[in-house]
């Protein structure tokens, strides 16, 4: 629509066609990355950095998700990879994103329902499998690394407010995320060996063979 109206596409506040929620990507730089690489685009439910990357929050400690400076792009790639996988669990288990449970509690609830014992890190693998399957589907539909992009209107530093003069280093965060997630930097696809590792052989075959 921006192109049809002769407007700079960088003024269109969306990622992958989904408009931004109320949480500004400049306020939590991990949120900027989660919006960029998330399967639905700028979805506040797929990478809840606005609630997880805050002092005193212990929801993700058992998974190695620790508090960092919200205005520092360093280490956001690795943490966002974990947070996106963790957030995948909520829809899968029909849990409320706004009443988050620690991973050990989710594992215990799963044991009570199924009788199978799981560790907290097993749950992270479940979420990672879901995230990579969605990414492979998106890739088949035409999504590439170029779509992992925050437009200027939601990324450029502001002149006032709590984030005045601060701008997320998107390339730094994306490169770290891709490395940790084992996604291919050139194509934006999960690497074949990553899909195989997660037991997604059918997706690997569909995406690469």
Domains defined along the chain, listed by start: 9-208 (1.10.599.10)
pLDDT tens digit at each of 209 positions of the chain: 777 888 888 999 999 999 998 888 888 888 899 999 999 999 888 776 666 655 555 556 667 666 677 788 888 888 889 889 988 888 888 888 777 788 888 899 999 999 999 988 898 899 999 999 999 999 999 999 999 999 999 999 999 988 899 999 999 999 999 999 999 999 999 999 999 999 999 999 999 98
- What is the pTM assigned to this prediction? 0.89
* Whole-angstrom distance, CA of residue 174 vs CA of residue 78: 10
* Whole-angstrom distance, CA of residue 179 vs CA of residue 90: 25
Q: Tokens standing for 189?
A: 């696809």
| Residues facing residue 190 across a β-bridge | 183
183 SS3 class: strand
| Residues facing residue 158 across a β-bridge | 164
- How many CA atoms does the CB half-sphere of 112 hold within 13 Å? 6
């Amino acid at each position: 629509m921006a192109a049809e109206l002769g407007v700079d596409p960088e003024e269109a506040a969306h990622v992958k066609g989904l408009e931004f929620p109320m949480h500004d990507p400049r306020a939590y730089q991990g949120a900027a990355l989660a919006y960029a690489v998330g399967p639905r685009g700028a979805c506040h439910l797929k990478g809840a950095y606005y609630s997880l990357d805050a002092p005193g929050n212990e929801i993700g400690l058992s998974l190695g998700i620790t508090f960092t400076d919200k205005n520092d792009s360093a280490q956001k790639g690795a943490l966002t990879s974990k947070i996106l996988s963790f957030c995948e669990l909520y829809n899968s288990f029909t849990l409320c994103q706004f009443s988050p449970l620690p991973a050990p509690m989710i594992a215990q609830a799963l044991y009570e329902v199924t009788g199978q014992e799981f560790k907290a890190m097993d749950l992270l693998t479940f979420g990672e499998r879901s995230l990579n399957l969605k990414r492979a589907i998106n890739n088949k539909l035409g999504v590439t690394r170029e779509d992992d992009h925050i437009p200027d209107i939601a990324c450029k530093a502001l002149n006032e407010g709590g984030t005045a003069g601060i701008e997320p280093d998107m390339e730094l965060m994306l490169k770290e995320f891709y490395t940790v997630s084992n996604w291919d930097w050139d194509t934006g696809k999960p690497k074949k060996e990553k899909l195989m590792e997660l037991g997604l052989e059918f997706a690997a075959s569909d995406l690469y063979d």
